[in-house]
Amino acid sequence: LIADEVDRYGLSAGVEGSPIDLAEKRQSTFWNKKTLKISSPSVAGFSYIWQQLEESSHAEWHVECPKCSRAQVLTWSQLRFDKSPVTHKCKFCNRLSTESRWKAQPGHWRHRNPDRRAKRGYHLSALASPWVSWGELVTEWKTANANPEGQLRRNALQVFINTRLSECWEEHVAQYDTDKLRNRREYY
């Protein structure tokens, strides 16, 4: 069973319940069944695929640093794009290397929870993609941030975070001091 973009599925297939659960039940007569659930994550706290990843072996793609050879996950926070070319800073030796140098290095999957063999999960961002350059990602990021504050900007940033970084979108909402509000109440 291949279920693609599962975070976009409805909560119910009409009145029958979860479409994913229904599809998995149809596999019950196969002794060698396999299920592959694929998706970009959506909103933190509501993302089905992220929940599945957290319950799995949670493998991440590690690449060796071109300078010190220590393996690590390529992360957006380590990307440097203030000048050309775009580089990635090693989290161990703090030295910068270009995209072509990083992507030429050997890589491997490292599981956070290797004992969870029954449910394998893999997480990979576009930073490791052979089809999308870091320059393209930086352009997309800058374009999303060029939108004026408001819904248009949030939408563009959410698409980038979800589809390019493969991370959950977290909506930042102003927090109110509920105790302070409660203490101001008066009897009417």
- Taking only the tens place, the pLDDT of each residue in 142-157 is 999 998 888 889 999 9
What totals of helices (H) and strands (E) does the chain contain, helices first? 6, 9
Long-range (24+ apart) CB contacts under 8 A made by 82-86 are: 85/135, 86/134, 86/135, 86/138
pLDDT recorded at residue 173: 67
Q: What does the mean pLDDT of the chain come to? A: 94
Q: Rounded to an integer, what distance in angstroms lies between the CA atom of residue 75 and that of residue 128?
A: 9
Q: What is the mean pLDDT of residues 38-51?
A: 96
Q: Rounded to an integer, what distance in angstroms lies between the CA atom of residue 82 and that of residue 32?
A: 51
Q: pLDDT per residue over 47-105, tens digit each? A: 999 999 999 999 999 999 999 999 999 999 999 999 999 999 999 999 999 999 999 99
Q: Rounded to an integer, what distance in angstroms lies between the CA atom of residue 188 and that of residue 178?
A: 20
Inter-axis angle of helices 134-146 and 151-163, to 10 degrees? 160
